[in-house]
Amino acid sequence: NAWLTEAELAVYAEEFGRTGFQGGLQWYRAGGQGIAEMEVYAGRHIEQPSLFIAGASDWGAYQSPGALERMHDHACTDLRGIHLVEGAGHWVQQEQPEATAQLLLEFLGAIR
């Protein structure tokens, strides 16, 4: 169930071997610059029907204790579900495409 083939992995390994991993780290260095732009959304809510899907092994879902609960209680007024898909990490749609598609289809069918 690999979401990255050996051939694809070889391309990344060769490129990182040639250029280093600096490019991959730049996003994290620049990431804090968008925080000020997000202030306009402070205190606002997502009122549309919403669904959260992440991989059960995705560190992002656990990096801030209580974040999932706050999303349900504060950020999304019509959150229809929080799903942590087993056998997937950060790229849940690539690692478990069938499970992700099924959750999306069920959600879309329910709000139709």
What is the percentage of the chain residues whose pLDDT exceeds 70? 95
Mean pLDDT, rounded, for 56-82: 87
Higher pLDDT, 101 or 20: 101
Please give the single-letter amino acid code of residue 43: G
* Residue of 20, 1, 2, 3 lying closest to 94 (CA atoms): 3
pLDDT tens figures, 37-68: 788 888 899 999 999 999 999 988 888 888 88
| Spatial contact of 56 and 85, defined as CB atoms under 8 Å apart | yes
